[in-house]
Structure 1
Amino acid sequence: MTAILDLDPFALDVLADPHPHDARLRDAGPVVYLPAHGIYAIARHAEVHAALRNWQGFQSGAGVGLANFRKEAPRRPLSVVVEADPPYHDAPRRVLSALLGPRAQRRLREGWTVQARELVDRVVSGGDGSVVEFDAVGALAEAFPLRVFPDALGIPDEGRENLLPFSDFLLNAFGPRNELVAAGAPRARALSDWVGEHSVREALADDGFGAQIWAAADRGEITHGQAPHVVRSLFAAGVNTTVHALAAALHALAAHPGQWRRLRADPGLVRVAFDEAVRWASPVQTFFRTTTGDVRVGDAVVPDGSKVMLFLGAANRDPRRWSDPDMFDVHRNPSGHVGFGFGIHQCVGQHIARLEAECLLGALLERVESMELAGPARRRLNNTLMAWDSVPVRAVLTR
């Protein structure tokens, strides 16, 4: 029998502090019905992991948000990568996987390392020579991805300030039409139009990822009709989630100064620390799937055509999977977390995000001996993301 829970996962107080509610969901059972929105919820790690793997039973093509596109017409263009199932999903995914793979990472590493050091030098130069305070979100977590990834994508400097609001609104729109969606609605059309105008071949630099996607269309790997939508997918996901993952890592390390000291003692743990931050904070909190038939989860059956909300953040703190899951620990092995998803829809750019984190955190380790929060951090509420709007940091510089 399916448990029923009186919980609105999109209530503002829940979005601001989801962890107590995540625990209620996990404790209620392997699958829970939420009458507030007429949806099912899965929050335990084993069941979330299984649902992400089972694309045949839990489809993405009916939308990864609350709206059920098996029962209503889409109000927006669907992502050809995130909201498509095989066979339609396969060709765009192959193109992006090749484009963002190890060869690209090797090519980008040297330049991104230099740019990260230059950015960190500018940020810490504002102190008195030994101590500096700055907002880790604006100064680092936003500034670095908004510089390096659009450069790699091949879009001009002008207009890059549209990237975060565009993807923030898109991820807000995966939820209900609440006040968060209403707040972004006045700019939504203009932002979407800007992205569309910069997804065409003529708007992209000849040597960037965008041009390479169009070249793949010329080779017949995807259609020319698909090409602008594949480019658009990088506008939507290539910056936003990386920004919030970096902000999560910087907040975690500033809130746990002892963990920063452990990381300085062993800088080789940078990538592990970043993944642990993604597990611990889960910037992407939830995604939806739709059942393609009656699907058994535990002892319950989720009916055909049901919207199922997968709580990635809750799964990443499931004590059935993790020891001391609420503790941030750079010495933990966080492999198996679902912060980047899992299965055929696992985040195709996750290794690029890890490279950005390695470059930025590595540069910060070189210049900062210790750091801590300099004041209260402030959340940025979003129907899908767990994000920070501001993380004030006080850093003691190396001598």
Structure 2
Amino acid sequence: MTATTGVRPSLPTFDIDPFSHEVLADPHPHEALLRDAGPLVYLSTYDVYAIARHEHVNAALRDWQGFQSGAGVGLSNFRTGKIWRPLSVVIEADPPHHDAPRRVLAELLSARSQRRLRTEWTVAAESMVDSLLGGRRVVEFDAVPSLAEAFPLRVFPDAVGIPEAGREHLLPFSDFLLNAFGPRNDLVVAGAVGARERSVWVNAHCEREALAEGGFGARIWAAADRGDITHEQAPLVVRSLFAAGVNTTVHALASMLYALATHPGQWERLRAEPELVHVALDEAVRWASPVQSFFRTTTGDVRVGDATIPDGEKVLLSVGAANRDPRRWAAPDAFDLSRDPSGHVGFGFGVHQCVGQHLARLEAECLLTALVERVASIELVGPGRRRLNNTIRAWDSLPVRVRTAGPGHAA
């Protein structure tokens, strides 16, 4: 984790391993080192460049012509190496190949879909929270399986049209894919156990016959029937929902609940100003960055600051570092609901910006509103436990105690 000299003598060079357990468990000190070193640094451990300042991460995300996704958004460079895993037709394709699948998903996940889903997701959130509280005055539970996982795993697969049987495959399937964006380390090896079984289940449920009529999945196949995408692309577009539609939302919700449980003043403010539920998820995504990093590959000589990255080089874009950059944010390490977090890059930016981000916000709004209306306080009652992942900053467990609000709750 020290600065070195060597292969790239004109750049600040570090032997930091961003995928080590140490860094994954506590990335902030290492992110600060990279930011402070300059607009562009070199990571000798993996022979890659890295960008950590908000200004330059944002610019790289918008510059799909110079920083391509089609060579893989993980560490592997598929311009020069064998393609050893399926590539996403959405996040690992560039225009024009990216355009048709993106248009189909954007239409499916539009504001019109949100209006249709809001009522049923509100009812689902209220029912889940009421059942969890059980009319008691003080309740202790683990917020990860009980809320952050349970709510998305109920409402989003319903919207896609996935049957209930087998949904337990969704999180570990996505977790393994996101791990695979990093090096083939022990996290990838551990996640590979059962990966084939999960992949078989997922692939089978991307087919037309497995998807409920009227859901997002069936509508993707209908788009193929209209010629908006090909029939070969249809199951791959459905698969992209399986891969990204639950996992990132789960960990964004967990980050939000952790932030509120550890910042009682912000919870009180949220109860006094419930309209701030619209801010809470975005501030949590900025503050915690559930998606920590993605890679790009240069398509020519690309200038960053005063330095140039040669053609065909892998570049790590540190989303987590950018979202806590003091050059962009005042008091960036504070979780603050009075902040406008709208410039964060936690959902990406540009043509590859997360197409489902508005549905993630809707899930957070429905769940958080149900909690705010019923819970007077929330606090941790034990240390949380992290789930280490090469791409996602995740929680495995968050034991919390809540005190319910208003009359009608038993002692």
Query: TM-score when scaled to structure 2?
Result: 0.96
1:116 paired with 2:89, answer: no
User: Equivalent residues in 2 for 1:20-59 (5 A)?
Assistant: 20-59=29-68
Structure 2 counterpart of 1:133: 140
**Shift, 1:101, TM fit:** 0.4
Query: Cα distance, 1:186 vs. partner?
Result: 2.1
Offset of 1:331 from its aligned partner?
1.1
* Counterparts of 2:155 and 2:319, CA distance in 1: 28
Please say if 1:343 is aligned against 2:328: no
What is the CA distance between 1:290 and its match in structure 2? 0.2
Residue 340 of structure 2 corresponds to which residue in structure 1?
Answer: 333
Distance in structure 1 (CA, Å) of the matches to 2:292 and 2:82: 25
Quote how far apart the aligned CAs of 1:5 are.
1.1
Q: Which residue among 200, 211, 228 is the counterpart of 1:204?
A: 211
Partner of 1:236: 243
Q: Distance in 1 between matches of 2:92 and 2:15?
A: 29
Report what 1:353 is aligned to: 360
CA distance in 2, matches of 1:151, 1:289: 33
Distance 2:98 2:142 in 1: 39
CA distance in 2, matches of 1:79, 1:397: 43
Counterpart CA distance in 2 for 1:391 and 1:300 is 43
What amino acid maps onto 1:46 in structure 2? Answer: E
Match of 1:376 among 361, 375, 383: 383
Give distance in 2, aligned partners of 1:372 and 1:257. 8
Separation of aligned partners in 2, 1:185 and 1:277: 30
Q: What is the CA deviation profile of residues 44-66 of structure 1, one whole-angstrom value per residue up to 9, with x for unaligned ones? A: 00000000000000000000000
Residue identity in the other structure for 2:40 = V
Q: d(CA) in 1 for partners of 2:393 and 2:172?
A: 15
Q: Aligned pair 1:90/2:99, yes or no?
A: yes
Q: For 1:302, which of 286, 306, 309 is the aligned residue?
A: 309
Q: CA RMSD in A?
A: 0.7
In 2, the alpha carbon distance for the partners of 1:198 and 1:175 equals 26
Aligned residues: 397
Deviations 1:73-119 (A, max 9, x none): 21111100000000000000000000000010000000000000000
Matched with 1:174 is 181
Secondary structure of 1:186's counterpart equals coil
Counterpart mapping for 1:53-72 below 5 A: 53-72=62-81
Q: 2:276 aligns with which of 264, 269, 273?
A: 269
Query: Quick one: which amino acid aligns to residue 311 of structure 1?
Result: S
Residue 374 of structure 1: CA displacement?
A: 1.0
Name the CA distance, whole Å, in 2 between partners of 1:169 and 1:192. 10
The DSSP-based 3-state class of the residue aligned with 2:316 is strand
1:6 aligns with 2:15: yes
Q: Percent identity?
A: 73
Determine the C-alpha separation between the residues in 2 that align with 1:163 and 1:31: 36
- Give CA deviations for 1:219-274 in whole Å, capped at 9, x if unaligned: 00000000000000000000000000000000000011111000000000101011
| Aligned-partner Cα distance in 1 for 2:193–2:276 | 43
Any stretches of 5+ residues in structure 2 without a counterpart? 1-9, 407-411
Amino acid at match of 1:85: D
Q: Quote the Cα distance in structure 1 between the aligned partners of 2:312 and 2:49.
A: 11
Partner of 1:255: 262
Partner residue, 2:409: none
Deviations 1:12-44 (A, max 9, x none): 010000000000000111011001001010000
Q: Partners of 1:197 and 1:257 in 2: how far apart?
A: 45
Match of 1:183 among 184, 190, 203: 190
SS of corresponding position for 1:40: strand
Specify the code of the residue in structure 2 equivalent to 1:83: E
Show the counterpart of 1:285: 292
Report the counterpart of residue 164 of structure 2 in structure 1. Answer: 157
- Give the letter for the 1:309 counterpart: L
Report Cα offsets for 1:157-205 as digits up to 9, x if no partner.
Answer: 0000000000000000000010000001121111111110000000000
Rounded to whole Å, the distance in 1 between the matches of 2:48 and 2:22 is: 19
Deviation at 1:122, TM superposition (A): 1.0
CA–CA separation in structure 2 for the residues paired with 1:253 and 1:165: 26
- Amino acid in structure 2 at the alignment position of 1:270: V
Q: Deviations over 1:320-377 (max 9, x none)?
A: 0000000000111001100000000000000000000000000001110111111111
* Distance in 2 between residues matched to 1:276 and 1:329, nearest whole Å: 7
Tell me which residue corresponds to 1:80.
89
Deviation at 1:389, TM superposition (A): 0.5
Alignment of 1:194 onto 2:201: yes
Give the Å deviation of 1:390.
0.5
TM-score between both structures, scaled by the size of structure 1? 0.99
SS at 2:390's partner residue?
Answer: coil
Structure 1: give runs of 5+ residues left out of the alignment.
none
Structure 2 SS opposite 1:199:
coil
One-letter code aligned to 1:303: P
Secondary structure (helix, strand or coil) at the match of 2:58 reads helix
Q: Give how far 1:11 is off.
A: 0.6
